[in-house]
Structure 1
Amino acid sequence: MQKNYDPQEIEQQCYKDWEAKGYFQCGNTKGETFAIMLPPPNVTGTLHMGHGFQHTLMDVLTRYHRMMGDDTLWQPGTDHAGIATQMVVERQLNNQGVSRHDLGREKFIEKIWQWKEYSGNNIGKQMRRLGTSPDWSRERFTMDEGLSEAVAEAFIRLYEDGLAYRGERLVNWDPVLKTAVSDLEVVQEEEKGALWHFSYPLEDGSGVIEIATTRPETMLGDVAVAVHPEDARYKNLIGKKVKLPLTDRLIPIIADDYVEKEFGTGCVKITPAHDFNDYEIGKRHGLEIINILTPDATLNDNVPEKYRGLDRFEARKIIVDDLEQLGFLVKKQPHTLKVPRGDRTGVILEPYLTKQWFVKASQLAAPAIEAVEAGKTRFVPDNWKNTYYAWMRDLQDWCVSRQLWWGHRIPAWYDQSGHIYVGKDEKDIRQKYQLSDDVVLTQEEDVFDTWFSAALWPFSTLGWPQKTPELEKYYPTSVLITGFDIIFFWVARMMMFGLYFMKDVPFKDVYITGLIRDAEGQKMSKSKGNVLDPIDLIDGIDLESLIKKRTESLMQPQMKAKVEKATRKHFPDGIAAFGTDALRFTFTALASTSRDISFDVARMEGYRNFCNKLWNASRFVMMNLDGFDQNHTSLKMGVAEKWIWHQLNETIAAAHKHIAQYRFDLLAQCIYDFVWHQYCDWYLELAKAQLSDKTIDLYHKQAVQFTLIQVLEEVLKLAHPVIPFITEEIFKQVKTYTKTKDDSLMLSAFPCFDENLIDQASVEEVLWLQKVIISIRTIRAEMNIKPSLEIPLYLKNPMQSDIDKLAKTQKIIQYMAKVSSVTISDDVPMSASDVIGEMELHIPLAGLIDVEAERSRLEKEKAKLDKEITRLSGKLNNQKFIANAPQDVVEKEKQKLAEFESKYGKLQQQFDKLASLSAH
C-alpha cells in the first residue's frame, strides 16, 4: 500500500472497473428482490447538494442489499423537464436572433434533442463521481420511446374511464412562458405593496359600499360584492346592486360564509376569473365569469376601450388615477403581501381562466389514502404521512396540460366542430371512432405536465404497458427516497397512478429526507452565495475559481459583489479536496430525522481523517503479518481477540438494525465508533503489545494476526456501502492474506451477526484493562513523568476478580503503560494514586520526578490560571457587559471561566500530591 491515502489516484479508475465488469446490473443473483427508483433529475441541470445527499443514501441501501445477496435494481434515468428545457434552448436561439416560432415546432424540437444529447451526460458523470451504482444498462429518459408509449396509454385509459376531461378553469398562468404551471413551480414571496380602498355606489343612490384590493386592475372583472350573511352592517343590502365604477355594469351584493366579518371592511369584491377563492364563490352562486386578461397579461376586449391592450401594471396606475379623479378612491395604505412568482421566469403569475386538460385526482386519491392507512406503504419518519393525508383529502382536479412544444403531446384530436377524439395516433382514432377520410382532424397542441410522466416512473421504466419480466419481478419497488417538498407533487401522484394502473402501491416505504442547508442553517441559493457543488468538495477548488463559478450566471453587479463577499468570508482559502468517501460519510452521518440539515464543510475534515485513519490502520495490519499462515487451524484467542470479535459482532447487529430503520446517521456513527475507538485506538495497540512479546505462543500469535486481518476485512465490508472507494482499494491488498475468493467487495457478503462470537466476559476484562491503562497514563501526564521512563506499579486491596484479570493482561499493561513491574502489596511507598472499584493503583514517584522543579512548573501554570480567572470573573460580574454583550458571547466567556476553574482544581490536586510526597 502507498504510504498516504490519495483519493484522486484511485476513485475514477476504480469506478470504471466496477462498471465495465457489470457489477451494478440487476439479475445477477436469485435472492429476494430489492428495487429502488432514482427520482429522475432534470436533464437541464447538474446535481446539487440535495441530489448528492439523497443519491448517497440510495447507494448505501443499494450496495448493502447487493452484498446481502438480493437481486438488486437501482433504476436510473432523467426527466425531460418541459418548461426548464424549453427555456434553455429558447434562450440560446434568442441570443442568435431566432425564435422558436421562426423554426416551427418540429425543427425546434430537433434543436432540443440535440441539446439534450449534449447536456444529458452531465448528471451521469456527476453520479459516477459520487460513486453511485445504479444499473446504467437500464437508464431511461422520460421522453424515450417506451416511456412516451406509457404516457399515451395512461392518458387514453384515464379518458376512456371518465377520469380525464377538457374544461375551462382557473390555473396558475405564466404570462412570459404563456403556459399553465404547477403549484410546485410557484414561489410565494413576501413583498411590500399597497392596499387600495374603493367605494362602489349603490344602484338606488342610498349610499356606497367600501371594498379593498391589492390588484385594482381586476375590479374591471368584478361580478359581485360579497358580505357575511350574519354581518348586521350589511344584512339589509344583500340582494341589492352596486354600480361598478369605470364600467356600465351593475353587480349584485351577495352573502357568503367565506367572507370574514372582522377583516377589512367586511366587503369583498368577487372576480371569479382572476382569483381562486372568488372562482369557488362564483361557482356556488352561479355568477358570470369575466376574463379581462390576454395570455401575455395585457387587458382584453372585455374592459372599456380606454384600457384595452395595456399591460396589467400599466393599467393599474391609470385605473387608480381614474378612480381617484372620480372620487371613488377612499385611501391607499402600505401592505405586505405574498406574491406568486414563476420559479423559472421570476414573473408575477396570474390566476387565469383557460381551457385545459384535467385528471379527476380526487377519485384516484381514495385508494392511495387507504393504502397508507392500511400500512401497505409507510412513511419514514412516520409523521410525514399526515402531510400526505392533508393534501390528498383536499384534492382539486389536476391540470395536466401545458402550452409548450417540448414534452409528450396530448394524444387528442379535434374535428371542425370541436369534437374531441382520444387515441394513439390519427389512424387509431379514425378506426376507433369510425371516421371517414373527409373528416379533418387537428392534433392538440398542448403537452403533458412533466409530473404526469413522472407519476408513471415506478412502472413505466420497467416496461409498462407491456407485461415484462422486470415489471413482474421488481414492482412494487422496495423504497423511495425523496424530499418532503415533493410529497404532494410526485409521491402522491405515483401512489394514485400505481394503484390505478398496476393495482398495487408503487413502493413499500417512503423515506423522507431533510433539506440540506448551509452551516448557518440558511437555505442554499445562488443569490446568497452559499451554494456548494458536490464535485468541488470532492476535487477541491481555489477561491478565485469558486467566486467565478458562483457569480458568472448573476446579472446584477450588486448581486455579484454580495456573493463574492460571502464567498471570501466563508471560504478564504477556497475548498480543500476531501475525496468522494469523506463526502459520502458526511452525508450519511447527517441523515437524521430532522427536517433541516446544516452542512458544515468543516465536518468533512473529521471524515477525511477517518479515511486516513482506516488507511494507516490497514498499513499497520499488513506490516504485522510476517509469518502469518491463513490456513492455520489451531488459534488460541486471548482476551483482547475475544473482545474485538464481540465488539465487531455487536456493531454488525447495530448496522443491520439501523439500515432496516433508515437511521443512516446511526449507521455512520456505529461504524465510526468501532473503527476509530475500538479497532484502531485499542485493538491495534493491544495486538502490538502482544506481538512485541518475544515469548508469545505461536498459536496465540497466529490468533492475533488472524484477528487483525479478518476483523479488518469485516470492517471493509461493513463500511463499503458508505465509503466504497477506499474500502475497495484496501480490500485489494487485504484479500491476499485471507481466504476470500471475491474479486471485489461488491461481490462480498455483508457481515452477519454470529451469536457464537458473543463474549461478555471479555468485555468486562478489557474494560478493566482500559481503566487501568488510562489511569496510569493520566497519572503520568499529571505528574509530568517522562513518556520514555518505565515505572513500577503497586496494586493495593485488589479483589480476586482483579487478580484474575491481571493474570490475563499483565504483559499488555506493562507494554502499553510503560510499567516495569506490577506488585500487589498493602505496603505502598510514597506515590501518586488512583482508584478502580476497591483496588488502589499507586505509582511511586521517588526518583521519577524532581519535586521542586515540578512545583515551580505548577506554580507558573497556577499563576496564569489565576490571572485568567480574575479577568473573566470581573468581566462576568460587570452588569454593563452582561446587559450589552450578545448572549452567545456571554455564554462563551462563562464556558471559558468554567474550563479555567476546572484546570485550576486539577492543578491543586497535583499540588496536594507533591505536598504528600514532600512530607514523606
Structure 2
Amino acid sequence: MDKTFSPAAIEAHWYSEWESKNHFAPQEGNGAYCIPIPPPNVTGTLHMGHGFQQAIMDALIRFNRMKGKSTLWQVGTDHAGIATQMLVERQLEAKGISRHDIGREGFIDKVWEWKAESGGTITQQLRRLGASVDWTRERFTMDPDLSKVVSEVFVRLYDEGLIYRGQRLVNWDPKLHTAISDLEVVQEEESGHLWHLQYPVVDSDEVITVATTRPETMLGDTAVAVNPNDERYQHLVGKMIALPLCNRAIPIIADDYVDAEFGSGCVKITPAHDFNDYAMGERHDLPLINILTADAHINDNAPEAFRGLERFEARAAVISAMENLGLLEKTEDHTLKVPRGDRSGVVIEPWLTLQWYVDAKKLAGPAIEAVESGAIEFVPKQWENTYFAWMRDIQDWCISRQLWWGHRIPAWYDTDGNVYVGEDETLIRQENGLDNDVELRQDDDVLDTWFSSALWTFSTLGWPEETEELERFHPASVLVTGFDIIFFWVARMIMMTLHLKGEIPFKQVYVHGLVRDAEGQKMSKSKGNVLDPIDLIDGIELEDLVTKRTSSMMQPKQAQKVEKATRKQFPDGIPGYGTDALRFTFYSLASTGRDIKFDLGRMEGFRNFCNKLWNASRYVLMNTEAFALTSEKPSFSLADRWIRSQLQQVIAETSRNIEHYRFDHAAQTLYDFVWNEYCDWYLELSKPVLWSDDASASQKHGTLLTLLEVLETVLRLLHPMMPFITEEIWQNVAPRLDRHGDTIMLAQWPSSDAEEVDTAAEDDIEWLKTVITAVRTIRSEANIPPGEALEVLFGNATETDKANVEKLGQSLEKMAKVKRTTVLGNSDDRPPALSALAGTLEVMVPMAGVVDIEKELTRLEKELERMKTEQARIAAKLGNQNFVDRAPQAVVDKEKVKLEELETGISSISAQKSKIEELR
C-alpha cells in the first residue's frame, strides 16, 4: 500500500474493475433484494440530494449483496419532457433555428442526437459516487420496449374507462404553452398589492367590496361569495351584482369556504382562473368564462376594451378603469405567494383547457388499503399520514402535456372529431374498419413524464411479459425517495402497479430528508449556496467555484453577494475529499426522516478518518509481513480477547442499524470502534506482545491473527458505506488470512459469534483504559514530558482494583510509561501528589522529583494572565452594542464561543494552580 491515501487513483481503478467484471449484476443468492432507482432526468447533473439518495441506496444494495442475497439495483433515466425540450430548443435558438422551422420529426431527431452525445452526464457521475447499479440493465423511459408499455397501459386504462378527455383547470405555463404538474410550480413570496374593488348590488344603493391580487380576472367573474353565517351579508344572498366593466350581472352566493374574518368577508369567484373558485363553481353550478389565450393575453370573452392586452397590461387597465368609475376603494402593499414555472420562471396561470385525465379516485382505494394493511410500510411511519391525507382527497390526474418530446398520446381523430384510441394507426384502422380514405390525425400532446415513471418498477423488468426478472425481483424490496414526490411518484406507482400487475410495487418506502446547507437553508442556485458533490470529491479552485455559483441569470447585486460569501467561506477553494469521505458524511447525518445540515467540517473529519484507517492498515500489514496461518491453536492476550469481544457487539449493532435505516447510528458505531477502540487502544495494547522477547510464539500468533481478523472484519462492515478505500485495503489484508476473491463486495457480511464475547476481558480493559487516561491527564495538566517514567499510587482501591493492579500492572507500566505502582492502604501516609479519578479509584503521581513546583506555578500564572487579558478583550467587544448590531451573526457567535472556551480554560488552569499550591 502507498504511504499516503490518495482517493482519486483507487476510485477510478476499482470502479472500472467492478463494472468490467460485471460484479453489479445479480448473483445467485438466498432470496432476492431489489431497489428501483428513482430515475434522474436525462438532462440532469448530480446535486447533493442525488448524492445523499444514491449513497443510501448503494449502502443497502452492498449490504444485502454481502448478506448473500441476489441483488438488483435497477438503474435508468427519465426522458424529462419539459427539461429536455427546453435544453434542445435553446441549442437550436443559439443557431437561429426554431423547433417549428424543422418540424416535429426533425426536432425529435435533434433530441435523440443530444441524448446520444450528452445525455449520460448524470450516469457517469453516479459511477463517481460508487453506485453499484446493474449497468447492463440500464433503462431509459423512451426506450422502445418501455414506450410500448406506456402505449399499452394508456389503451388498457382508456378501454376500462379510467382515462378520459375533459375540459378542466390546469397549471398553465404561458411561455412554454403547456400544462405542468404541481411539482413543477415554485411558490415564492413576492411583494405585490391587494386591490379593494367595489361591486354595486343590482336594484340597491349598496356595494360589496372584494379584495384581489389579480384584478384582471374580474373580467371572468361569475359570482361573489359570502359565508352563510355572516350576518352582514345574509340579506344579500341570492341578489345580483352588476359586474363593473363587463355589462353583465352575477349572483351573490353563500359558501362555507369563505372566511368571514378575512378582509371584507366577500370573495370574487372566477371559476376558470382559480382552483378554489373552480371547486366552488362546481358546487354552485357557476358558468366558466375563460378570459385568457394560451400566451396569457386577454381573449374575446372579455369586454372589447381589454382584448389583446397582455395579462399584466390588462391588470393596469382594469385598475385604471375601476378608479375612473370611483369603484377602486383602496390599494394596499401585500406580500403574496406567486406561482412560477420552475423551468420558464414565468407566473403560472390556472387555465381552462381540454386535457387527458386518469380517474385517480377509482385507483386510490386499493392503494390506500395496501398501506393500511401493512403490505407497504413507510419508514418513518409518520409519512403514512401524509400519503393518506393526499390519497383520500385525490383529484383526477392530468396526464397530457403540450410538448413534442415524450410519449405521444396514442389517440387519433377523424375530421368529424371522433376519437380512436389504440397502440398505432394501423391497428386502429383494422379494429374500426377505417380504410385509408378516412383521414386520421394523431393527438399532438405527449404524456406527463410521471405517467411512464409510474410504471417503472415493473416496466423495467419486462412487463407485460412474464420474465424471470419480474418473477424474481418484483415487488421491489424498498423504494428510497424524498418526501417531496410521495404524491407525484410514490402514490401513482402504488395505484398503477396494483391495478395493472395485481401486486404492490415495493414492500417499504424509506423517506429521507432534504440536504440543506450548514445553516439549515435550502440549497438553491439563486442563493448561491449550492454544493456540487463532484467538487467535494475532486476539489475545485476558488475562481472556478465563484464562476459556478454566480449565474449569469442572477441580478448583479445578488451575484456580488454570492461571490463575496463564496470567497469568505472558501478562501482556498474546496480541496477535494474523495468519495468515501463524502459518502460517510452523508451516512453520519442520515437520521430517519429529518433534513440534514451538510457541514464541510464533518467531511474534513471523515477524510481524517480515512487517513486513520489507511495508516492503521499499513501498520498492521507491516507487522504481519511474516504472518502465516497455522493449524496451531493461537493464544489470545487479554487485549486480543477484549477487541474480539467488542467486535461482536459492533457487528450486531451495524447490521441492526442498516436494516432499520439508521445509517447515522451505523456510521457512529463504526467510527467509534475503528478510531477509538481499534486504532487508539488496541494497536497500543498489542505492542507489549509484539515487541516482547518474553512472549511465546502462540501469543504473538494470536495477536497478529487478531490484528488481521479484526481489521478484515471492519473492512467488510465499512464496505457498504466506504466502498473504495475498503476494497483497496481488503485486497492487501485478506490474502494474509488466506481469503481470496475478486472483490470485497462479494465477500460474506460478518456475523457475530457468541463464543467470542468475553465480558471479563471487556471489564479488565475498561479498567485499564480509565487508569491510563487518568495518568495521561495528570501528565498533561502538570506538563510532565511523555517519556518520563512515573511512580503511580492508588488510593480508595476496592478489592477488584487491587486485583487489577496486580494483574494488569505490566500493561499499565508499558502503556502509561509507569515505573512502579503501589496500592495505598487507608492508614498509609500520602506524599504530595497530583491526582485524578478513574471511577472511584484515586490515581496519584508523587510530585517529588517530577515537577518543579515553583517553575510550574510561574508557567501557570503567565498562562492565566494571558487568558484573562484575552477574556477581557472579547468581553468588551461583545459588550459593545455597535459591534453586536453591525457584525454578521456568524462573527458574533464565533466571538461568544471563544469567550466560553477562555472561561473554561481559566477555570481549569486555576484548579491546576490551586492543586499544586497545596503541595508546597
Common fold by TM > 0.5: yes
- Counterpart of 1:153 in structure 2 is 152
- Counterpart of 2:689 in structure 1 is 690
- Counterpart of 2:712 in structure 1 is 713
Q: Does 1:135 align with 2:134?
A: yes
Per-residue CA shift, 1:741-769, capped at 9, x if unaligned?
Answer: 22210111111111111111111100111
The two structures, once aligned, show a CA RMSD in angstroms of 2.4
Pairwise mapping of residues 742-781 of structure 1 onto structure 2 (< 5 A)?
A: 742-781=741-780
Q: Matched residue of 1:92: which SS?
A: helix
User: What letter is aligned with 1:786?
Assistant: P
Per-residue CA shift, 1:248-279, capped at 9, x if unaligned?
Answer: 32222223222222322333222211111222
- Counterpart of 2:850 in structure 1 is 848
Residues 357 and 801 (structure 1 numbering): CA distance in 2 closer, same or farther, change over 3 Å?
same
Per-residue CA shift, 1:775-814, capped at 9, x if unaligned?
Answer: 2222222232222222233445644433433344222211
1:895 positional shift? 6.1
- Counterpart of 2:253 in structure 1 is 254
1:418 positional shift? 1.6
User: What letter is aligned with 1:617?
Assistant: A
- Counterpart of 1:22 in structure 2 is 22
Alignment check: 8 A CA contact 1:639 1:808 kept: no
More displaced stretch, 798-807 vs 600-609: 798-807
Per-residue CA shift, 1:499-542, capped at 9, x if unaligned?
Answer: 11111211111111111111111111112111111110011011
1:858 pairs with one of 860, 867, 882:
860
1:910 positional shift? 4.0
Per-residue CA shift, 1:271-291, capped at 9, x if unaligned?
Answer: 211111222222222222211
- Counterpart of 1:40 in structure 2 is 39
Alignment check: 8 A CA contact 2:407 2:446 kept: yes
CA–CA distance in structure 2, aligned partners of residues 182 and 702 of structure 1: 66
CA–CA distance in structure 1, aligned partners of residues 730 and 129 of structure 2: 20
CA–CA distance in structure 2, aligned partners of residues 304 and 364 of structure 1: 43
Alignment check: 8 A CA contact 2:511 2:593 kept: no
Alignment check: 8 A CA contact 2:455 2:493 kept: yes
- Counterpart of 1:183 in structure 2 is 182
1:887 positional shift? 9.2
Per-residue CA shift, 1:538-588, capped at 9, x if unaligned?
Answer: 110110111122235435433432322221121111101101111011111
1:677 positional shift? 0.5
- Counterpart of 1:426 in structure 2 is 425
1:195 positional shift? 2.1
Instruction: Return the TM-score normalized by structure 1.
Output: 0.96
Pairwise mapping of residues 889-900 of structure 1 onto structure 2 (< 5 A)?
A: 899-900=901-902
More displaced stretch, 637-646 vs 428-437: 428-437
Per-residue CA shift, 1:117-139, capped at 9, x if unaligned?
Answer: 12221011101111111000000
Per-residue CA shift, 1:459-511, capped at 9, x if unaligned?
Answer: 11111121111111101101111111111111111111111111121111111
Residues 272 and 899 (structure 1 numbering): CA distance in 2 closer, same or farther, change over 3 Å?
closer
Residues 422 and 867 (structure 1 numbering): CA distance in 2 closer, same or farther, change over 3 Å?
same
Alignment check: 8 A CA contact 2:657 2:663 kept: yes
1:912 positional shift? 5.1
1:729 positional shift? 0.7
CA–CA distance in structure 2, aligned partners of residues 306 and 834 of structure 1: 91
CA–CA distance in structure 1, aligned partners of residues 75 and 86 of structure 2: 25
- Counterpart of 1:635 in structure 2 is 634
More displaced stretch, 843-852 vs 421-430: 843-852
User: What letter is aligned with 1:573?
Assistant: D
Residues 167 and 898 (structure 1 numbering): CA distance in 2 closer, same or farther, change over 3 Å?
closer
Residues 600 and 899 (structure 1 numbering): CA distance in 2 closer, same or farther, change over 3 Å?
closer
1:598 positional shift? 1.0
- Counterpart of 2:582 in structure 1 is 583
Alignment check: 8 A CA contact 1:632 1:702 kept: no
- Counterpart of 1:269 in structure 2 is 268
Per-residue CA shift, 1:615-667, capped at 9, x if unaligned?
Answer: 00001111112542222432111111111011111011000110111011111
CA–CA distance in structure 1, aligned partners of residues 266 and 275 of structure 2: 17
CA–CA distance in structure 1, aligned partners of residues 284 and 204 of structure 2: 25
User: What letter is aligned with 2:164?
Assistant: Y
- Counterpart of 1:404 in structure 2 is 403
Pairwise mapping of residues 724-735 of structure 1 onto structure 2 (< 5 A)?
A: 724-735=723-734
Per-residue CA shift, 1:844-889, capped at 9, x if unaligned?
Answer: 3322233332233233234335555666788899999999999988
More displaced stretch, 271-280 vs 545-554: 545-554
CA–CA distance in structure 1, aligned partners of residues 602 and 413 of structure 2: 60
Per-residue CA shift, 1:75-109, capped at 9, x if unaligned?
Answer: 11100000111011111112222111111111110
Residues 862 and 326 (structure 1 numbering): CA distance in 2 closer, same or farther, change over 3 Å?
closer
Identical counterparts, % of pairs: 58
Residues 310 and 578 (structure 1 numbering): CA distance in 2 closer, same or farther, change over 3 Å?
same
Alignment check: 8 A CA contact 2:770 2:839 kept: no
CA–CA distance in structure 1, aligned partners of residues 907 and 792 of structure 2: 25
CA–CA distance in structure 2, aligned partners of residues 888 and 625 of structure 1: 50
Q: Does 1:126 align with 2:125?
A: yes
1:2 positional shift? 1.1
CA–CA distance in structure 2, aligned partners of residues 601 and 837 of structure 1: 36
User: What letter is aligned with 2:583?
Assistant: R
Pairwise mapping of residues 44-59 of structure 1 onto structure 2 (< 5 A)?
A: 44-59=43-58
CA–CA distance in structure 1, aligned partners of residues 326 and 860 of structure 2: 88
CA–CA distance in structure 2, aligned partners of residues 297 and 883 of structure 1: 47
Instruction: Return the TM-score normalized by structure 2.
Output: 0.96
Unaligned segments of structure 1, at least 5 residues:
none
Pairwise mapping of residues 78-93 of structure 1 onto structure 2 (< 5 A)?
A: 78-93=77-92
Q: Does 1:506 align with 2:500?
A: no
Per-residue CA shift, 1:165-200, capped at 9, x if unaligned?
Answer: 000111111111111110111111222222222233
Alignment check: 8 A CA contact 2:191 2:333 kept: yes
CA–CA distance in structure 2, aligned partners of residues 97 and 907 of structure 1: 75
Pairwise mapping of residues 207-222 of structure 1 onto structure 2 (< 5 A)?
A: 207-222=206-221
CA–CA distance in structure 1, aligned partners of residues 178 and 896 of structure 2: 59
1:424 positional shift? 0.7
Alignment check: 8 A CA contact 1:528 1:562 kept: no
Pairwise mapping of residues 746-895 of structure 1 onto structure 2 (< 5 A)?
A: 746-796=745-795, 798-824=797-823, 826=825, 829-836=831-838, 839-865=841-867, 867=869
Alignment check: 8 A CA contact 2:777 2:836 kept: no
More displaced stretch, 887-896 vs 777-786: 887-896
User: What letter is aligned with 2:862?
Assistant: K
- Counterpart of 1:2 in structure 2 is 2
CA–CA distance in structure 1, aligned partners of residues 634 and 158 of structure 2: 73
- Counterpart of 2:621 in structure 1 is 622
- Counterpart of 1:741 in structure 2 is 740
Alignment check: 8 A CA contact 1:371 1:505 kept: yes
CA–CA distance in structure 1, aligned partners of residues 873 and 902 of structure 2: 11
CA–CA distance in structure 1, aligned partners of residues 784 and 368 of structure 2: 70
1:316 positional shift? 1.7
1:299 positional shift? 1.3
Alignment check: 8 A CA contact 1:718 1:751 kept: yes
Unaligned segments of structure 2, at least 5 residues:
none
Pairwise mapping of residues 437-452 of structure 1 onto structure 2 (< 5 A)?
A: 437-452=436-451
Alignment check: 8 A CA contact 1:690 1:812 kept: no
More displaced stretch, 466-475 vs 857-866: 857-866
Aligned length: 917
Pairwise mapping of residues 350-365 of structure 1 onto structure 2 (< 5 A)?
A: 350-365=349-364
1:207 positional shift? 3.8
CA–CA distance in structure 2, aligned partners of residues 570 and 870 of structure 1: 28
Residues 774 and 305 (structure 1 numbering): CA distance in 2 closer, same or farther, change over 3 Å?
same
Residues 665 and 299 (structure 1 numbering): CA distance in 2 closer, same or farther, change over 3 Å?
same
CA–CA distance in structure 2, aligned partners of residues 883 and 107 of structure 1: 61
